[in-house]
Amino acid sequence: MKLTTASKITVLRIFLIPVVVALMYLDFTGHMYAALAVFVAASLSDFVDGYIARHYHQVSNFGKFLDPLADKLLVISVMLVYVDTGLFPAWAAIVVIARELAVQGLRLVAVEEGKVIAAAWSGKIKTASTMVCFVLLMLPIPGWCVTACWVVVLLTTVYSGIEYFARNAAVFRG
C-alpha cells in the first residue's frame, strides 16, 4: 500500500506520541517547553493532514481509520501522564476514555447500518478545547487553572458524547 502525504503526516503524529510522553516525564518539574512544542506540532498535524486529504483528494480508508486513532492515542497518552502526575483526576480520564470508546462503537454500529456519522461541531470544539487545555497544563499555571482545564475537558467531552448519541439514536432502532 502506498501512503498518501496526508497518511504520512498521520503516521508521523503517531511517532510523535512517545516523544511527547518521554519529554513530559523527563522534564515534568520544569516548564516542559520541548514537550509543549512537540505536542503542538502533533496537534496541528491533525488539521494539516485533514486539509491535505480533502484538498488534494487523498481521502482513503486507511486515513479514515488511522487519523481518529492517532488523535485518540495522542490525547489519551498525554492525559494519562497528567493523571500519573496529579494534574488530571483518574475518574475524569475514565469518563473521557469511555466517551471516546462509546462514540467509536456508535460509528461502528452506524457503518453496519450503511450510515456514516460525520464529526459534529461539538466534537470539534471538544478536540480544540482539549488541545488548548493540555497545552496550558504544560505551562506553569495556578492550581485553579489546572482545575478549570480538566473541568473544561470533562464538560466538552460529556456534552459532545451526549450530542452524538442524541443525534444518532436511530442507529440503534435498526
| Residue whose C-alpha is closest to residue 10's, from 66, 72, 76 | 66
| Residue whose C-alpha is closest to residue 63's, from 117, 121, 5, 15 | 5
Q: 45-64, pLDDT tens digit by residue? A: 988 998 999 999 998 888 88
Domains of the chain: 5-173 (1.20.120.1760)
Give the pLDDT mean for 69-86.
96
CA pseudo-torsion sign 148, 122, 38, 25: positive
Of residues 146 and 28, which shows the higher confidence score?
Answer: 146
Give the pLDDT mean for 124-131.
94
Work out the pLDDT band at 31, boundaries 50, 70, 90: low
Which pLDDT belongs to residue 22? 93
Of residues 29 and 147, which shows the higher confidence score?
Answer: 147
